[in-house]
Structures are given as C-alpha cells and as structure tokens.
Amino acid sequence: MPETPKKGSVVPTGKEISLGDDDFIVSKTDTKGKITYANRIFIRMSGYSERELLGSPHNVIRHPSMPKCVFRLLWKTIMDRREIFAYVVNLSKDGSHYWVAAHVTPEITAGKHVGYISVRRKPNPETVRSVVEPLYAKLLQAERSGGMESGERLLNQILSEKGVSYDAFIQSTL
Ligand SMILES: Cc1cc2nc3c(=O)[nH]c(=O)nc-3n(C[C@H](O)[C@H](O)[C@H](O)COP(=O)(O)O)c2cc1C
C-alpha cells in the first residue's frame, strides 16, 4: 500500500487551482469518514492516486485555513442524518488548494446508515473572495486565540445577527 501523507504534513504553497464549470467532485465515506469511493475529478484535483485515497480519512485533504467549527457543524448535521451545504477549501498533495461548494448527505441503504456521500462543484469565485474567505479568516482567528468554542460562538453570533442558519446562509449564496 502506498503511504498516504498524514493530515498536516503537506505544506500549502498558496497556488490556487480551480474546478471546471462542469466538473463535479464525488466521494463516499464509511460512517467514520474513511474514503470508500473517489471519482476521477477528485483523484485529479487532490493529486493522490485512487489507492492512496481509498481507506484514508477524508481529512487527508484538510487545509489548515479551514476553521474547525465548520467541520464540527458538518459532522453534527450529517450524524443527525441531515444534509449540509458548506464551502470548503481543500489541500492537494502538491500543496496547491481549491475551493468547493460541497453538499454532504448521509447514505442510507435499506434503512441502514452505511456512510456519507459528498458532491462538490465550483463555487462562485467572487462569493468566495468577498464572503467566505473573510468569514473563515475571522473564525480561524477566533479559534487560534480561544479554541474551537470561540470559533463556534462567533459563527453562531454572526449567523444570528443575519437571522439565518449556516445552511440557509450558504444556500443563499449558491
Ligand atoms: C462525505 C464527507 C466528505 C468530506 N469532504 C471533506 C473535504 O472535501 N475536505 C475536508 O477537509 N474534509 C472533508 N470532510 C470532513 C473530514 O472528515 C474532517 O472532519 C475534516 O477534514 C477535518 O478534519 P479534522 O477533524 O481531523 O481536523 C468530509 C467528511 C465527509 C463525511
């Protein structure tokens, strides 16, 4: 088995790559978040081989500038068997990054919860620059000084000022 780099071992280069307008990244995981399926575009964008991806935890492509509280919300939602939309910046094997608008849902087969499915597409670059990057930068800063709970509190505060849930907020920008 090829060795898959551990989360945090890839150094971001700052180079951004982007999905094509008609590209979809698809992956499936087991209930713990280990990758069980990756489509060709996922393989291409991540820079890993299919063998490296299958069986690896999905955080193999985690970018350090993603706030922890966003993933906490993601997991809370999908473990509750609900879907979520989220903006995510991912880190490729060569250190480049790419933004996606992700939809994550539980996979239920014959009434049994077998894992999760995510489909991502190219987000509007202007929304990423003007809305998502500034929001995530604030959350990250809060987390760096006061831990994930500070990020979570700030996110809830920003959303309650807007009077929307994270999901409704994200969907309004798609
Ligand atoms: C179906 C599915 C897709 C996911 N897609 C991504 C992804 O594209 N990028 C990412 O960083 N995390 C993704 N995650 C979340 C990871 O499992 C993980 O929570 C996240 O990378 C944060 O890692 P950490 O909790 O180890 O810090 C996904 C989870 C699931 C269940």
- In degrees to the nearest 10, what's the CA dihedral of 144, 78, 49, 91? -20
| Distance of CA 11 from the midpoint of ligand 1 (Å) | 18
| Residue 10 belongs to some domain of the structure | no
pLDDT of residue 172: 86
Q: Is the pLDDT of residue 165 over 90?
A: no
Q: Is the pLDDT of residue 4 over 80?
A: no
Distance CA 64, CA 8 (A): 7
Nearest to 137 by CA among 73, 84, 61, 63: 63
Domain range for 136 is 25-173
Q: What is the mean pLDDT of the chain?
A: 94
| Residue 53 belongs to some domain of the structure | yes
Mean pLDDT of 31-59: 97
Residue nearest to atom 13 of ligand 1 (CA): 58
**Contact call for residues 104 and 116 (beta carbons, < 8 A):** yes
Residue nearest to atom 28 of ligand 1 (CA): 58
Crossing angle between the packed helical segments 166-173 and 133-162, to the nearest 10 degrees: 120
| Residue 158 belongs to some domain of the structure | yes
| Residue 6 belongs to some domain of the structure | no
| Residue 50 belongs to some domain of the structure | yes
pTM of the model as a whole: 0.94
% of the chain at pLDDT higher than 90: 87
Domains in the chain: how many in total? 1
Q: Which residue has the tokens 């291409």?
A: 44
Mean pLDDT of 141-158: 96
Residue 61's H or E segment, with its range, is: none
pLDDT of residue 174: 82
Q: CATH code at 132?
A: 3.30.450.20
| Residue 105 belongs to some domain of the structure | yes
| Residue 71 belongs to some domain of the structure | yes
| Residue 109 belongs to some domain of the structure | yes
| Distance of CA 59 from the midpoint of ligand 1 (Å) | 5
| Distance of CA 32 from the midpoint of ligand 1 (Å) | 10
| Distance of CA 71 from the midpoint of ligand 1 (Å) | 7
pLDDT of residue 173: 85
Q: Rounded to 5, what percent of the chain is helix, strand, coil?
A: 40, 25, 35
Mean pLDDT of 147-163: 94
| Distance of CA 138 from the midpoint of ligand 1 (Å) | 20
Mean pLDDT of 134-160: 96
Ligand 1 site, CB within 6 A: 7, 27, 29, 33, 58-59, 61-62, 66, 71, 75, 88, 90, 104, 116, 118
